[in-house]
Copies of this chain bind each other. A is one copy, B any other.
Amino acid sequence: MKADIITIGDEILIGQITDTNSVFIAENLNIIGVTVRQIITVSDDKEVIKNAVDNSLQKADLVILSGGLGPTDDDKTKEALAEYFNSKLIENADVLEDIKRFVKSKNSSLNDRNIKQAEVPDKCKVIRNDNGTAAGMWFEKDKKVVVSMPAVPFEMKEMFENKVLNLIKEYFKTPHIIHKTIQTIGIPESELAEKLSDWEKNLDSKISLAYLPSPERIRLRLSITCDNVETATEKLDKEILELYKIIGKNIFGEGDVYLQDVIGEILLKNKKTLATAESCTGGNISRLITSVAGSSKYFKGSIVAYSNEVKQKILGVSPFTLMKQGAVSKETVEEMALGLLKVINSDYAIAVSGIAGPDGGTDEKPVGTIWIAVSDKYKCISKKYNFGNRRNVNVRLASSRAMDLLRNFIEGNITE
């Protein structure tokens, strides 16, 4: 079956905000086996919205709208849908109750605009909104469905994940699909494809495989359409076991996790602490590690040693090393890691020094040259990388690779 996504909002059409709602909706529809035919953004105009819905219904079985449900006069979606479905707007008691509760939770008081939001078309099924004042709507027509949701990402996501997806699965009797995602890092897509080619050839024909690459990582998504959840899950798990045999060291997690989550789990489990000494990454590793709620349990802190003075004075890197080998060298980055362990007294240290660019490169050490060390009190290992000449990409890749090196160090995957 096919779906169209329509996002409504003048702010998108003037390039003021990026439409991330449609990305979220598309990804989740894809996961339940619904093909997204097109994504379209239109303005907050009643006739335009009606036309867009009508056009989409010609070719799609399901049309999902997001936006235009706010309390102000420029929000036109509800009126447009009421007219399109020859429906009257009537006050809905459930929605009014939700609005009252929400307004109260914000220590605010109910106004006329809020009350007007409780009016919904009489021909729709209401989808209640637990996080805001705009109710969702579900319309059916000739075995096709139109769903309308608010644009606030937080409200939309909750409504879509917890309510709309189930309604879609039920109404369209979508096939039961099980997905498992494997997160890999440190192996380019072409090499990964080559390493996996034999395995792929022998893959159960019912299982489909998707490569989902980003600069930092490649996700492998295995999907199977099934009648029996248990046997299907078994099949997937068997294949995932095979994957671990082939590229085990490059797999840092399963499901929807980031490296910083995995690092956090490992440190928590082992009751160990971490600190970082960062030069070219400028605090980005520290920022990523601390983006995880509860990271203060295992993260002690970071020394961002952007100047050689800080490398010497706080981390104790020898002036001789800095002069002889330079700030971007195996020796410096290892001294940074060991100095960090002394000064911060953590169990593990990550140290990074490199040339992020655009300036500072030489023939011997071009822009993108980055040294990473990881260490505990007994052992220190370091590796040299080159990620190219884009400053922000160098910072991103150095950060993820540094975390991955630590993961492999702790898990004992490194053989020098």
Contacts and interface: CB of A to CB of B under 8 A. Distances in A.
A282 B290 contact: yes
Interface in A298-328: 299-307, 309-310, 313-314
Contact of A290 (B30, B283, B309, B345): B283
B304 A302 contact: yes
A281 B24 CA distance: 27
Contact of A39 (B12, B313, B345, B359): B12
**Which bucket holds chain A's interface residue count?**
35 or more
Contacts of A293: 357-359, 391
A332 interface: no
Contacts of A281: 287
Interface string A263-291: 00000000000001010011111110111
A287 B289 CA distance: 13
Nearest to A36: B13
B40 A27 contact: no
Q: For the complex, would chain A's binding face be called helix, strand, loop or mixed by DSSP majority?
A: mixed
Nearest to A30: B14
A412 interface: no
12 contacts: A12-B26, A13-B37, A14-B26, A14-B36, A15-B23, A15-B28, A283-B283, A294-B359, A300-B306, A301-B310, A304-B304, A309-B345
Interface in A18-40: 18-20, 22-30, 35-40
B307 A296 contact: yes
* Most chain B CB within a 10 A radius of its CB, from A22, A212, A278, A290: A290
Interface in A77-135: none
B314 A343 contact: yes
Contacts of A13: 26, 35-39
